[in-house]
Copies of this chain bind each other. A is one copy, B any other.
Amino acid sequence: MVAKTSPGRPKASSQNRRDQISKVAARLFSDLGYEKTTIRLVADEAGVDPKLVMHYFGNKQRLFVATMKVPSEVHAALTLLKLTPKASWGNRIADVIWLAQKSSAIETLVGVIRASSSEPEAAEMFREFYLENLLLPMVSQLDVDHREIRAVMMSSLMAGYVFTTQIVGLADYLKLDSKKTKKLFASLVQTILTSEIGKTSAKTKRANS
């Protein structure tokens, strides 16, 4: 807890303060989930008064939305794969995720996944930001059938890997070899994107339970 000053506008600061709060909030949402990330805690760790958080972001939900935007680098990296040859897609996508894992870019994904487990609105954000704006367009770049099934499986693999490593912490617990894990991960992505699934027929479409 940083020492607070007296009320009133301070000599020199301002827009940095908003970013500072935003960064702290992103880290806490990612580490603790939505409900355990309280406004008071964010304020404390940012060294400001809780009301200042409300002043900048309105309410907790808007703080979450503002903080959990998909980083533009990740978005760009995943939607600009057009030039990569089909056979390298698995490796390329694994590269992006392994890179994000080492930066703070992963925080937004972890935060949204954690929050989705308790807040339906966050699950909606996941659907919109990650499925519709990221994975479906990505799959659609490859000329392949059953795009939605493949995108949902990409979502499953990504979210599950994040869950297992970042939330349950299994990779650290078992001290896995990162290179080999990445190799298997890339194989799975490749399988998702290129595996033969079967023709779409009215018959099989009807058997939908």
Contact = CB atoms under 8 A, between A and B. Distances in A.
Given A117-B118, A149-B180, A192-B184, A156 B167 contact: no
Nearest to A195: B187
Instruction: Describe A's contact surface by its main secondary structure.
Output: helix
Given A195-B184, A197-B184, A208-B177, A156 B152 contact: no
Contacts of A149: 176-177, 180-181, 184
A152 B127 contact: no
Given A160-B160, A163-B160, A177-B205, A188 B117 contact: no
A150 interface: yes
Contact of A170 (B102, B152, B185): B152
Contacts of A192: 184, 188
24 contacts: A33-B117, A36-B118, A114-B118, A116-B117, A116-B167, A117-B118, A117-B163, A126-B168, A127-B168, A131-B168, A148-B174, A149-B176, A152-B164, A152-B171, A155-B168, A157-B188, A159-B164, A177-B200, A177-B208, A178-B207, A183-B198, A184-B197, A188-B191, A188-B192
